[in-house]
């Protein structure tokens, strides 16, 4: 596909969104939406892109990227209707940002490796955050810009990574594992004391935060690891269901020992 075709397709998509959002002749559902109602779909589409990549399904990836692009077009159209910005401004903003953050490509600077580029990238972002903080009349923080909309485990890891840049971190995994043991003990104490859901949730959150930081030290993406565990659980539980179904039974009909035996069999089945 050449550039002219790509531009024509983008223009067509933008026109389709204008038609869908037309108050008189558009789609009632699309017309009723706003930024808040569409945001969950945007997040869902991003995860579906990640899932297609995990499956190495290029056809699905093409389709899911299209769905994600539609979300960008949808938000941009609503912003244009409100007089804030349009799709062109979105493209211009990211284009300017990429040029600004890659002076070694589009300017006179040089970098020696991808690691050096990562450091330079973070330095550029930190400078941008400092300018934004000054414009907002507040002191900058190393934690600025870590979106509260991120999944909890991902945000926990990013907060830990930011703090680590200024030396607030464990030197190795030994310290993180000790912290996890400490948080688990505190959670057990709250459960044993039956102090109530609020205290238990507080300690449970501390435990999850520590686990996310262990993932950071192990260079593991916690959300990816959890999705992998979810898939593994689903596959194994479906194996249990299938085995019981073959015997004309359902999981609710089996004893705990039977379920455990079938679960062990599922774990040992390739």
Please say if the pLDDT value at position 241 is more than 90. yes
Q: Residue 114 — very low, low, confident or very high, per pLDDT cuts 50/70/90? A: confident
Same domain flag for 181 and 254: no
Same domain flag for 191 and 250: no
Same domain flag for 36 and 77: yes
Same domain flag for 236 and 177: no
Same domain flag for 63 and 76: yes
Identify the residue with better confidence: 241 or 150: 241
Mean pLDDT of the chain, nearest integer: 92
pLDDT of residue 1: 62
**97 is in which domain, residue-wise?**
3-101
pLDDT of residue 236: 96
Same domain flag for 41 and 79: yes
- Residue by residue, DSSP assigns the chain as --HHHHHHHHHHHHHHHHHHT-TTTS-HHHHH--HHHHHHHHHHHHHHHHHHHHTT-HHHHHHHHHHHHHHHHHHHHHHHHTTS--HHHHHHHHHHHHHHH-HHHHSS---SSHHHHHHHHHHHHHHHHHHHHHHTTS---TTTT--TTS-HHHHHHHHHHHHHHTT-S-SSHHHHHHHHHHHHHHHHHHHHHT--HHHHHHHHHHHHHHHHHHHHHTT--HHHHHHHHHHHHHHHHHHHHHHHHHTT--GGGS-HHHHHHHHHHHHT--
In the predicted model, what is the mean pLDDT of residues 144-148?
88
Q: Residue 257 — very low, low, confident or very high, per pLDDT cuts 50/70/90? A: very high
Same domain flag for 11 and 80: yes
The number of folded domains in the chain is 4
pLDDT of residue 266: 94
86-107, pLDDT tens digit by residue? 999 999 999 999 998 888 888 8
Same domain flag for 214 and 235: no
142 in a domain, yes or no? no
């Amino acid at each position: 596909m050449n550039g002219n075709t790509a531009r024509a397709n983008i223009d067509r998509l933008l026109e389709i969104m204008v038609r869908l959002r037309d108050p008189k002749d558009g789609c009632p559902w699309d017309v009723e939406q706003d930024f808040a109602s569409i945001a969950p779909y945007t997040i869902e589409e991003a995860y579906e892109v990640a899932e297609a990549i995990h499956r190495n399904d290029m056809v699905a990836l093409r389709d899911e990227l299209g769905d994600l692009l539609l979300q960008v077009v949808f938000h941009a159209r609503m912003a244009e209707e409100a007089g804030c910005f349009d799709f062109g401004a979105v493209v211009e903003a990211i284009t300017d940002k990429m040029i600004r953050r890659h002076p070694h490509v589009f300017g006179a600077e040089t970098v020696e490796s991808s690691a050096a580029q990562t450091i330079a990238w973070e330095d550029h972002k930190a400078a941008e955050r400092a300018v934004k903080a000054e414009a907002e009349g507040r002191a900058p923080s190393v934690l600025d810009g870590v979106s509260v909309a991120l999944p909890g485990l991902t945000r926990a890891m990013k907060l830990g990574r930011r703090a680590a840049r200024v030396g607030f971190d464990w030197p190795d995994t030994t310290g993180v594992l000790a912290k996890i043991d400490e948080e688990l003990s505190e959670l057990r104490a709250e459960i044993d004391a039956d102090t109530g859901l609020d205290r238990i949730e507080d300690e449970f959150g501390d435990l999850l935060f520590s686990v996310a930081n262990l993932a950071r030290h192990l260079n593991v993406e916690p959300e990816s690891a959890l999705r992998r565990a979810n898939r593994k659980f689903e596959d194994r539980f479906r194996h249990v269901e299938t085995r019981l179904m073959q015997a004309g039974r359902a999981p609710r009909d089996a004893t705990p020992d039977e379920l455990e035996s079938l679960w062990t069999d599922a774990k040992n089945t390739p």
